[in-house]
């Protein structure tokens, strides 16, 4: 059985392009020498949370202060906006301390990453939306935490907020004073603290989880690998031109993002080789279907019925299979459409070649793919009504009825 499990992990890792999927153990064995800090305690990040903000937000919830805080924080959008007045003094003091880039942030790399994101946005929209978004539903802890939290009951809204996080990260000036990502990251960090306080109060969540408290540093690292590490590997697999300098800048933007989300520097990979090694330990071995994840995936894919993507549901199912693997498609019960599968396998590589100027011949399905990706992107941007800001609010409860 162990060998069968090991082969499953390796085959799935290969399908996802996560080539370092060599371990089936959950024990933390990644060395902090591979981190941006270069050193560390070696503590398993599964038991590391965000203590200071966790205590602050728990107090806000228990004292009924969240609605007032949400109202005050609504006007805090751009990185150079002043901190809102009307916040509790301890929350203001905390935000004043953390509301800045780490000392090791490189503005030139961040600017290059933003330019890369702009140049490759077609692939990034697709990989973040259909790849990483659907992969999240087969990450058991993430699927169960999302499902039983307040956001799980409205996947349109949650998808928009998640997409906006990546959208702000990808903006040309996202980390600069006029950008929004630093604020978005800190609001997300506060929301994570709220979920850590609220979810353990849900008997539904505690009945299915193997965690005492959700959203540990390890969980955030898993999410990073389902996003940044996965996307980088897919771009390389698809032979999208991706220079070493662009790859380094892309990683740096995620390194800064992880820091802003409260991940300790000793866990943030310093290179893609270190990231691949970490991903092979913490992401690929844990992928599995859950009742909650299957429902969330259907909710996400069902959202496309609200927007004309110019394709059938069968085409959408097959694109998910193409991006993630047939194994994950089977886990999620995605019905086959073999005609669409054949079209995607032949026309998508040709689409990339044409878009990258590597061939003068446009595939016959060029318009279908182009419109599909753009419509998919707008679907997650608040039903196409906003490409700038999705309000991020602190929850005061879990999923209704839980």
pLDDT tens-digit series, residues 233-258: 999 999 999 999 999 999 999 999 99
Per-residue pLDDT, 166: 67
What own/partner pairs with CB < 8 Å and gap ≥ 24 does 385-393 have?
A: 387/167, 388/180, 389/77, 389/164, 389/180, 390/160, 390/161, 390/163, 390/164, 391/74, 392/161, 392/164, 392/184, 392/187, 392/188, 392/191, 393/70, 393/73, 393/191
Average pLDDT for residues 12-29, to the nearest whole number? 58
Average pLDDT over residues 149-154: 79
Task: Tell me which of 15 and 189 has the higher pLDDT.
Answer: 189
* pLDDT for position 9: 52
- Per-residue pLDDT at 306 exceeds 70: no
pLDDT of residue 23: 42
- How many angstroms separate the CA atoms of 273 and 268, rounded? 12
| Mean of pLDDT over the chain | 88
Statement: residue 144 has pLDDT above 60: yes
More confident residue, 193 or 132: 193
Give yes or no for residue 402 having a pLDDT over 60.
Answer: no
Determine the pLDDT at residue 21: 41
Please state the rounded mean pLDDT for residues 274-290. Answer: 96
Contact status, residue 56 vs residue 287, Cβ threshold 8 Å: no
Share of the chain above pLDDT 90, in %: 68
Give pLDDT, residue 90.
96
Residue range 156-185: average pLDDT?
77
> Token digits for 70?
């949400």
**Could you tell me the pLDDT band of residue 26, with boundaries at 50, 70 and 90?**
low
User: Among candidates 219, 237, 50, which has minimal Cα distance to 136?
Assistant: 219
Of the pLDDT bands very low, low, confident and very high (cuts 50, 70, 90), residue 189 is very high
Report residue 12's pLDDT band, with 50, 70 and 90 as the boundaries: low
User: What's the distance, Cα to Cα, between the start and end of the chain in Å?
Assistant: 36
Which has more pLDDT, 387 or 130? 130
Q: How confident is the model at residue 25 (pLDDT cuts 50, 70, 90)?
A: very low
Q: Report the pLDDT averaged over residues 208-235.
A: 96
Helical ranges in 31-73 per DSSP H: 51-62, 66-73
**Any idea what DSSP says for residue 311?**
S
Strand partners, 269: 35
List, in sequence order, every residue forming a beta bridge with 7; answer none if it has no partner. none
Q: Are the C-beta atoms of 45 and 218 separated by less than 8 Å?
A: yes
Determine the pLDDT at residue 20.
44
Q: pLDDT tens-digit profile of 41-65?
A: 989 999 999 999 999 999 999 999 9
| Residue-level pLDDT at 261 | 96
- Answer yes or no: is pLDDT of 303 > 80: no
Output the pLDDT for position 128.
Answer: 85
Q: Whole-model pTM?
A: 0.91
* pLDDT for res 137: 93
Secondary structure letter of residue 120 according to DSSP: T
- 6 pLDDT higher than 60: no
Total Cβ atoms within 10 A of residue 291 = 11
């Amino acid at each position: 059985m162990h060998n069968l499990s090991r082969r499953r992990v390796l085959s799935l890792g290969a399908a996802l392009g996560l080539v370092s999927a060599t371990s089936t153990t959950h024990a933390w064995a990644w060395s902090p020498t591979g981190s941006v800090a270069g050193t560390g305690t070696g503590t398993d990040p599964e038991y590391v949370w965000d203590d200071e903000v966790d205590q602050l937000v728990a107090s806000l919830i228990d004292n009924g202060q969240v609605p007032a805080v949400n109202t005050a924080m609504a006007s805090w959008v751009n990185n150079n906006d002043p901190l809102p007045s009307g916040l509790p003094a301890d929350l203001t003091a905390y935000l004043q301390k953390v509301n800045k880039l780490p000392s090791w942030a490189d503005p030139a790399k961040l600017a290059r990453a933003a330019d890369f994101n702009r140049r490759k946005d077609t692939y990034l929209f697709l990989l973040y939306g259909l790849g990483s978004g659907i992969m999240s539903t087969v990450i058991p802890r993430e699927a169960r935490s999302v499902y039983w939290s307040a956001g799980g009951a409205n996947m349109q809204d949650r998808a928009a907020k998640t997409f906006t996080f990546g959208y702000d990260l990808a903006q040309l000036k996202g980390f600069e004073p006029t950008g929004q990502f630093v604020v978005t990251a800190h609001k997300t960090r506060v929301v994570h603290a709220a979920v850590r306080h609220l979810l353990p109060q849900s008997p539904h969540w505690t009945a299915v989880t193997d965690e005492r408290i959700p959203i540990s540093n390890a969980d955030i690292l898993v999410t990073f690998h389902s996003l940044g590490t996965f996307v980088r590997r897919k771009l390389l697999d698809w032979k999208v031109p991706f220079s070493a300098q662009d790859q380094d800048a892309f990683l740096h933007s995620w390194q800064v993002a992880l820091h802003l989300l409260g991940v300790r520097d000793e866990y943030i990979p310093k290179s893609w080789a270190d990231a691949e090694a970490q991903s092979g330990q913490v992401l690929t071995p844990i992928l599995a279907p859950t009742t909650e994840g299957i429902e969330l995936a259907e909710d996400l894919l069902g959202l496309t019925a609200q927007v004309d993507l110019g394709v059938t549901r069968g085409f959408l199912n097959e694109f998910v299979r193409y991006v993630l693997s047939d194994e994950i498609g089977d886990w999620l019960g995605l019905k086959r459409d073999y005609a669409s599968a054949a079209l995607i396998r032949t026309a998508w590589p040709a689409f990339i070649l044409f878009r990258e100027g590597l061939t003068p011949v446009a595939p016959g399905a060029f318009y279908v793919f182009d419109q599909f990706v753009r419509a998919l992107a707008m679907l997650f941007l608040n039903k196409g009504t906003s490409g700038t800001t999705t309000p991020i609010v602190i929850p005061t409860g879990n999923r209704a009825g839980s």
